[in-house]
C-alpha cells in the first residue's frame, strides 16, 4: 500500500503555521518567564549565600572575641591581684621593711600622704627617706618591682652624705593602688 503524498492546502498551511507560531510564542513565553524566575532565584541565592558567609564570619569572630575576652579577664584578674586591698597595706609595709633590710637600705623616716581618690581606684602614697649606697638602692628598687603587689616608685632624689661617702641620703615617693571595684565585688559575694 502506497501512501498518498501529504498535501495541504493554503488554508491548512496557514492554520499549521499559525499553530506553529502560537506554539513557538507560548514556548518562548514560558522559557523567558522561567529564565527570569531563574535569574531572580539565582540573585536571591547569591544574596542568601552572602548572608550565610557573613553569619559564619560573625560566628567565627564571636568565638575569637570570646577567647579575647577570657584572655583580657585573666589579665585584669592578674593585675587586680597585684593591687592590695586596704587591709593589706600594713603587710605591704612589712614587705618594704624586709626588702630594705635585704638590700641593706636603712629607713630614716616614712611620711604618709593623703590618699588620692580616682574613679576606679584609690592611690596611697608615702615619702620615704633612707640611707644606702647606689648599688643597694638599685637592689631595693629591683626587689620592689618584683613584689607580688604593684608599687610605683617616683621622684627619686639622691644626695651625698658628708659623714659617710659610701652612704647617700635617698628620698623617694612610693605609691600603691587599691581597686574600688574589687572591694565592691567582694562585698557582693
Indicate the pTM of the whole model.
0.52
pLDDT at residue 188, rounded to an integer: 46
Own/partner long-range contacts of 76-82 (Cβ < 8 Å, ≥24 apart): 79/150, 80/179, 80/182, 81/148, 82/148, 82/149, 82/150
Domain definitions of the chain by residue range: 13-81, 86-188
Dihedral pair phi/psi, residue 127, rounded to 5°: -95, 125
CB atoms within 10 A of CB 106: 14
Number of H helices, E strands in the chain: 4, 4
d(CA 92, CA 99): 10
| Torsion angle of the four alpha carbons 142, 143, 144, 145, in this order, in degrees rounded to the nearest 10 | 50
3-state secondary structure at position 107: strand
3-state SS, one letter per residue, for 48-62: HHHHHHHHHHHHHHH
Own/partner long-range contacts of 104-113 (Cβ < 8 Å, ≥24 apart): 104/132, 104/133, 104/136, 104/139, 105/130, 105/131, 105/132, 105/136, 105/137, 105/140, 105/170, 106/130, 106/131, 106/132, 108/169, 113/173
Per-residue pLDDT of the chain (189 residues; tens, 9 = 90+): 555 555 667 888 888 888 888 888 888 888 888 888 888 888 888 999 999 999 888 888 888 888 888 888 888 777 666 655 655 667 777 888 898 999 999 999 888 888 888 887 888 888 999 999 989 999 999 998 888 778 889 999 999 888 888 889 999 999 888 777 654 555 444
pLDDT at residue 181, rounded to an integer: 65
d(CA 89, CA 122): 12
CATH of domain 86-188: 3.30.70.60
* Nearest Cα to Cα of residue 130 among 109, 114, 145: 109
* Nearest Cα to Cα of residue 149 among 96, 187, 105: 96
Amino acid at each position: 500500500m502506497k501512501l498518498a503524498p501529504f498535501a495541504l492546502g493554503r488554508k491548512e498551511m496557514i492554520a499549521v503555521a499559525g499553530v506553529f507560531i502560537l506554539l513557538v510564542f507560548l514556548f518562548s513565553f514560558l522559557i523567558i518567564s522561567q529564565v527570569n524566575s531563574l535569574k531572580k532565584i539565582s540573585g536571591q541565592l547569591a544574596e542568601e549565600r552572602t548572608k550565610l558567609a557573613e553569619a559564619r564570619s560573625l560566628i567565627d569572630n564571636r568565638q575569637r572575641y570570646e577567647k579575647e575576652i577570657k584572655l583580657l579577664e585573666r589579665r585584669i584578674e592578674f593585675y587586680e591581684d597585684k593591687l592590695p586591698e586596704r587591709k593589706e597595706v600594713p603587710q605591704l609595709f612589712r614587705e618594704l621593711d624586709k626588702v630594705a633590710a635585704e638590700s641593706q637600705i636603712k629607713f630614716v623616716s616614712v611620711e604618709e600622704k593623703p590618699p588620692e581618690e580616682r574613679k576606679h581606684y584609690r592611690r596611697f602614697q608615702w615619702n620615704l627617706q633612707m640611707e644606702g649606697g647606689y648599688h643597694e638602692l638599685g637592689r631595693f628598687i629591683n626587689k620592689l618591682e618584683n613584689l607580688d603587689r604593684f608599687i610605683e616608685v617616683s621622684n627619686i632624689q639622691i644626695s651625698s652624705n658628708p659623714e659617710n661617702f659610701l652612704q647617700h641620703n635617698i628620698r623617694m615617693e612610693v605609691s600603691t593602688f587599691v581597686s574600688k571595684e574589687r572591694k565592691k565585688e567582694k562585698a557582693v559575694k
